[in-house]
Structure 1
Amino acid sequence: KFRTFLLGLPQIEGRHCGENLAGRVSEIIYEYGFEGRMGYFVTDNAESNDTRLEELATELGFNKQHYRLRCCGHIINLVARSILFGTDADAFEEDCQADKELQDEMRLWRAKGPIGKLHNIVHWVQRSGQRIDKLHKLQSIENTALGLEDRSTYDVITDNATRWNSSEAMMERGYQLRNPLDSLVQAEVTEWDQYVAMRTGGGTRPMPKRSRKKPAIVDDKMSSEDWAVIAEYLAILKPLKIATKRLEGRPEEGMTIGKYGAIWEVLLTMEWLLQHLEDSKLQHEHDEEPYLRIGCNLGWMKLDKYYTLTEDSPVYLASLVLHPAFRWPSVESQWADHPDWLERGKIADTIPEQPTAARKTTDLDDFMASVRKLSTQRAPSAPPTRDEYAEWLSTSDPGDCLVDNPIQYLASPTTTVSTLVTNGN
């Protein structure tokens, strides 16, 4: 059974630089006697983590590139933020924090298109108890008019610029409440138009200098086209949400989709997402507004960057080869158009750059299943003299393609490759 343990929570004195972090991690490793059997390090992409692992690799004698794995949840977060906010996501966040004037902040968000306009509307509603009450009343009116059995009403969900899933949740709830939200904003637009008409004599004279300031929310009125873009963003982000759940390290109790961030799922999930973003980019190639097309392209580029970095560690490919549902036949079929890469992968200490698979699918589970089926092809002939790894590659069972938990499978008493299991653990 998969378990996690907190081994230490040391206080770091001074800067949280790689050298300081490495020193404290090293102390914990030696305290528990792990120095001779280190596994892999999963971290985010901060430079201090690279420095920390370089220090530990020198001290403990391991290959830093082989043992340094990147947190997939963090990668997906970066991909989603690129889709939503572009290449300047961090700069945009800093601008919003620096601009304390509400009008200027709303202007910055509005420049982001429909997502920015919805952000402004949601935060505008949330700042006023009266507007929140009005939103619930409008929902009740709509529920009654539609004859819905479920008469529940909902609050808006506010987002923040650092977590993409908060933006996704904001858009999902906003789209659900689009009619009440439109009514709220339209009331402000109507009131402002009436005021302007009164002050200008129906447009016959200029607006007096001493007039009310135009409410910023008036410029954030959502059109039907804006809501359609929000719906498309939700469709684009849905696979990223699925992948995050699939690869998270601690899935909720009773959930079946997560495999505790199993390493063998990483490459396949990344390929599935790359294909999804490529398809989405082509789908929106001729859109009048460029938001979706540019977002998909930036997201694809960000994901491809980190997908390429997986070549630094052979564990990604090894995890597929040692999985009973995949092995080499699946890998060879999946990358059949790239025989040179396959050959280098079999003999090299480090794995060369993976080409993106051309296989197309629309669902992650279907994609995984399609690759599993490839493992039922005939295994290569075993050489006269072989070790347990060679035996593993040359023998398979028809039921292997159904295996979900490779560790449990390999640890089973019926598994003959005991040495392979011991070395793998």
Structure 2
Amino acid sequence: MKKFKWARFKGEMQWIRCYAHILNLIAQSILQPFGTVKKRSAARESKGDVNSLDSSDESEGEDAEEQICRYDNNNSAYNSGDEKDPEDADEAVQREFLEPELTLEDIHDLCEEDEDEDLYTTAICKQTLAKFRAVARKLRKSPNSKSEFVELCKEMRCEKPHSIVQDVRTRWNSTLDQLVSIIRCEKAIMAWQKDKKYGLDRKFHINGVDIQLANDLVSILQVFYEQTLQVSIPGSARLTHIIVFIDEITDLLSNAIKGEDNKYPPALRNACRVGLQLTNKYYTLTDCLPLFRIAMVLHPSFKDEYFKIAGWESEWITEALRLTREMFDTYYKPVTNGPPPTDPRKVTKPKTGNIAQLGAAMAARGQSTNDPLELWLGSGLLLDDGSPIDALKWWIQQKRAGNTHGGLLQMALDVLSCPGQFLHG
């Protein structure tokens, strides 16, 4: 690693935002609209509102907005104890360098919700998540209810584990884990909740719409969870990987928002809009970091074509190429000697007509393709069955083969190997 010239990447403009933090902010922003109101009036609680979880045997003083928080990889998602979660060691760093997450109020052109036509609305989503928390709390606080529930799971052949994960306040991914466990034990829940002795109050009963919402949220959040696990492995998250991760998240949220085949109701599409705008806020257009732009250009599966497909304006594409050119010319361009001597005895017969024009065109093309960066941009994209290849692995293979790409090799290794996140021990 000492061979990498990371010391050249100085100053705030070269800082790489920790992808693990931003990944969690995006996931949190998607879930945020479905949180319950923090302060509930006594009158509202007395009416037994489903959003109020402060029933006689389930009160813990937590609400959805407190529970739906960013991921902390130091704690197990299946830990359902009563102990308080420790403050994250890097909370101060996140607050200093990352702006607050967006909310629905920050988004324009939201899809209009229809209470009569939509399968579920934002208000229903809040109630559904409250129901799921009520199930988990009841099973955790009542051993007899838990025993009855486990027996039903066995009887109905639900997959193990036969438990509902607790939604913990400092781990957004625990919401996903809870959703997965609800889906896994759906049949048992439907039977157990009706038990007058061990089940739930009727206001917390889960129905088919609640299960559909759980499935929809899992289809969105699963990618965030998988990426979080990958970037949590020390040394595994390099800038070359972050590029692919961001493209995957952007594609996921964009397709969800399009609403093709009416796959998701407006409530979830609007939530995805928040997540997509936050993604764009940190990683595209004018907010895109110089190193990130350069890494895109040096990625064999993207180059400058990605900017065009993503709809970047020509000025931004030009700036990305300028930054790449500037770094290459300043630090990596090989020192060239003078042109080779020509043979004075060799006489070139002058060309005329179309042959002369063809020769001039070939000469012009030859001049332009002598430049390593122009050669790189002019070559085709490399894909693996339609998906991006492992860029860092590809460049390492080029090094072993002795192909320096005119100096681009070392530049690509330096840029693409930059850490995409940091972990605290």
Equivalent of 1:250 in 215, 226, 233: 233
Question: What amino acid is the match of 1:220?
Answer: F
Equivalent of 1:140 in 154, 161, 169: 154
Equivalent of 1:408 in 379, 396, 400: 396
Q: Deviations over 1:277-322 (max 9, x none)?
A: 2332343998998642442232223222222488452211211322
Q: TM-score, normalised by structure 1?
A: 0.57
Equivalent of 1:184 in 183, 187, 192: 192
Q: Any conservation in 1 of the 2:136–2:164 contact (CA below 8 Å)?
A: yes
Equivalent of 2:139 in 115, 125, 149: 125
Secondary structure of residue in 1 paired with 2:150: helix
For the residues of structure 2 that align with 1:115 and 1:87, how far apart are their CA atoms?
A: 8
Equivalent of 1:340 in 315, 322, 334: 315
Q: Any conservation in 1 of the 2:282–2:288 contact (CA below 8 Å)?
A: no
For the residues of structure 2 that align with 1:79 and 1:403, how far apart are their CA atoms?
A: 24
Corresponding position: 1:281 with 2:257: yes
Q: How does 1:380-419 map to 2 (within 5 A)?
A: 381=365, 383=367, 386=370, 388-394=372-378, 404=391, 405-417=393-405, 419=407
Q: Any conservation in 1 of the 2:176–2:218 contact (CA below 8 Å)?
A: yes
Q: Which runs of 5+ in 2 are unaligned?
A: 40-50, 65-123, 327-363, 415-425
Q: State the shift of 1:76 in Å.
A: 1.8
Q: State the shift of 1:115 in Å.
A: 1.6
1:315 corresponds to? 291
Equivalent of 2:128 in 84, 94, 114: 114
Question: What amino acid is the match of 1:81?
Answer: Q
Question: What amino acid is the match of 1:263?
Answer: L
Q: Any conservation in 1 of the 2:294–2:321 contact (CA below 8 Å)?
A: no
Q: Which has the higher helix share?
A: 1
1:154 corresponds to? 162
1:275–1:340 CA distance, 2 compared to 1 (3 A): same
Corresponding position: 1:63 with 2:63: no
Q: Any conservation in 1 of the 2:302–2:381 contact (CA below 8 Å)?
A: no
Q: Deviations over 1:328-379 (max 9, x none)?
A: 4x3365347733332232225899xxxxxxxxxxxxxxxxxxxxxxxxxxxx
Q: State the shift of 1:324 in Å.
A: 3.3
Q: State the shift of 1:216 in Å.
A: 7.5
1:234–1:349 CA distance, 2 compared to 1 (3 A): same
Q: Deviations over 1:160-209 (max 9, x none)?
A: 12222211111101111012122222113xx59xxxxxxxxxxxxxxxxx
Secondary structure of residue in 2 paired with 1:342: helix
1:266–1:134 CA distance, 2 compared to 1 (3 A): same
Question: What amino acid is the match of 1:305?
Answer: K
For the residues of structure 2 that align with 1:345 and 1:274, how far apart are their CA atoms?
A: 20
Q: State the shift of 1:245 in Å.
A: 4.6
1:6 corresponds to? none
1:84–1:336 CA distance, 2 compared to 1 (3 A): closer
For the residues of structure 2 that align with 1:290 and 1:102, how far apart are their CA atoms?
A: 35
For the residues of structure 2 that align with 1:118 and 1:399, how far apart are their CA atoms?
A: 42
1:178–1:343 CA distance, 2 compared to 1 (3 A): same
Question: What amino acid is the match of 2:168?
Answer: N
Corresponding position: 1:234 with 2:203: no
1:243–1:158 CA distance, 2 compared to 1 (3 A): same
Q: State the shift of 1:406 in Å.
A: 3.5
Q: State the shift of 1:265 in Å.
A: 3.9
Corresponding position: 1:74 with 2:21: yes
Q: Deviations over 1:249-271 (max 9, x none)?
A: 528xxxxxxx9223134344324
Q: How does 1:258-297 map to 2 (within 5 A)?
A: 260-283=236-259, 291-297=267-273
Q: How does 1:159-238 map to 2 (within 5 A)?
A: 159-188=167-196, 217-238=201-222
Q: State the shift of 1:132 in Å.
A: 2.0
1:221–1:396 CA distance, 2 compared to 1 (3 A): closer
Q: State the shift of 1:65 in Å.
A: 1.7
Q: Deviations over 1:203-251 (max 9, x none)?
A: xxxxxxxxxxxx98442111111111111111122232344355x1528
Q: State the shift of 1:422 in Å.
A: 3.6
1:180–1:412 CA distance, 2 compared to 1 (3 A): same
Q: State the shift of 1:154 in Å.
A: 2.0
Q: CA RMSD in A?
A: 4.6
1:138–1:266 CA distance, 2 compared to 1 (3 A): same
Query: Quick one: percent identity of the two aligned structures?
Result: 18
Question: What amino acid is the match of 1:233?
Answer: L
Corresponding position: 1:86 with 2:20: no
For the residues of structure 2 that align with 1:75 and 1:230, how far apart are their CA atoms?
A: 24
For the residues of structure 2 that align with 1:65 and 1:350, how far apart are their CA atoms?
A: 17
1:152–1:81 CA distance, 2 compared to 1 (3 A): closer
Structure having greater relative contact order (Cα 8 Å, sep ≥ 6): 2
Secondary structure of residue in 1 paired with 2:300: coil
1:327–1:228 CA distance, 2 compared to 1 (3 A): closer
For the residues of structure 1 that align with 2:381 and 2:208, how far apart are their CA atoms?
A: 55
Secondary structure of residue in 2 paired with 1:186: coil
Secondary structure of residue in 2 paired with 1:233: helix
Q: Which runs of 5+ in 1 are unaligned?
A: 4-31, 41-61, 144-149, 193-214, 252-258, 352-379
Aligned residues between the structures:
301
Question: What amino acid is the match of 1:303?
Answer: T
1:38 corresponds to? 7
Q: TM-score, normalised by structure 2?
A: 0.57
For the residues of structure 1 that align with 2:381 and 2:275, how far apart are their CA atoms?
A: 39
Secondary structure of residue in 1 paired with 2:16: strand
1:153–1:138 CA distance, 2 compared to 1 (3 A): farther
For the residues of structure 2 that align with 1:261 and 1:325, how far apart are their CA atoms?
A: 18
